[in-house]
Amino acid sequence: MKIIQDLYNIHSPFKRAVVTIGNFDGVHKGHQAIFQQVIEKARSIKGTPVVITFEPHPVRVLKKNGRPPLITLFEQKMELIAQAGIKVVVCIPFTEAFAGITAKRFLEEILIKQIGMKAIVIGKDYAFGKNRKGDVEFLKKYADRYGFEVIVIDWVQAYARSTRRISSTRVRELVMAGEVKKTFNLLGRYYQIRGRVVSGRNRGGRLLGFPTANINLVDELCPKMGVYAVTVELGKKKYKGVANIGYSPTFEDHQFTIEVHILDFKGELYGKAIRVNFIRRIRNEKRFASIDALSKQIAKDIQTARNVLADFCL
């Protein structure tokens, strides 16, 4: 997939561009459905499937307080869009000045002149441009004049017979509530965090008998505190594991950590990049009367995780 950073790096219009525009935080099933429509339409007219997105997320610029955590940071978002089959991503730097561009100017100068748009695929509630004037009716109004097709797709429902559509907001709610198992139906994958293994407090293996990898979290959205059955990606290899998120109340040091015990793993992890997929929440974090009691509970958690992950072929 070709990633074009900023509009000035587009030197000529794309061949019969089929476009979609959005933030695509989480790249959930609703986004994936839009991408598939873009790809299918591009294939039918021998054109180029193009995704237009923004960095930073517009909410970072337009909303100064109370900004929701991102589900996927830029690197992961690009990976997921590429996996969906998109050939070109145009990433536009989002600024207050850019936010002031009218929908008509965005359509004429960017979508038509620079991108070479011949079709656009959007959800029925999407809008772009200053004051969100570039909605479905706006696009249909100008479609004949500029020779492009407007394709509007329905919302994707999270479950059969559900009245609630898949949205980035709903994904955030589930992750922050610890209901990671439910996110699979929205994302089409398990929720993942990324980070690098850093030095911890040297007590997982020494005191508890279960060595852990302490993760310096990269992602903004962290699951609710507790213990989880997880899978772990280390380079091209995958493992099963147990993750603990929280403050380790038994030790009373009040330091937030994300620690992962990788099942049946022997090797050095310090300094390595790691990806953790959250499969199911096992229990709340709690304070134990002694280190021995905590160690026994961890052994039970590991067995629970083995049972949860028994059917996972890694």
Beta-ladder partners of 233:
238, 275
Alpha helical stretches, state H, the chain = 29-44, 58-62, 74-83, 96-99, 103-105, 136-146, 168-176, 180-187, 291-308
The pLDDT of residue 159 is above 80 = no
Phi, psi for residue 156 in degrees, rounded to 5 = -95, 130
Name residue, tokens 């074009």. Answer: 4
Helix (H, G, I), strand (E, B) or coil at 258: strand
290/227 Cα distance (integer angstroms): 18
Q: What's the whole-number mean pLDDT along residues 54-71?
A: 86
Distance of CA 171 to the CA centre of its chain: 9
For residue 205, name the pLDDT band (cuts at 50, 70, 90): very low
With contact defined as beta carbons under 8 Å apart, do 73 and 47 qualify?
no
The pLDDT score that the predictor gives to residue 190 is: 97
Indicate if the pLDDT at residue 138 is higher than 90.
yes
Of all residues in the chain, the percent with pLDDT exceeding 70 is: 93
Q: What's the whole-model pTM score?
A: 0.91
Q: Quick one: which of 303, 215, 225 has its CA closest to 259?
A: 215
- pLDDT over 70 (residue 214): yes
Domains within the chain, CATH numbers bracketed: 2-153 (3.40.50.620), 180-308 (2.40.30.30)
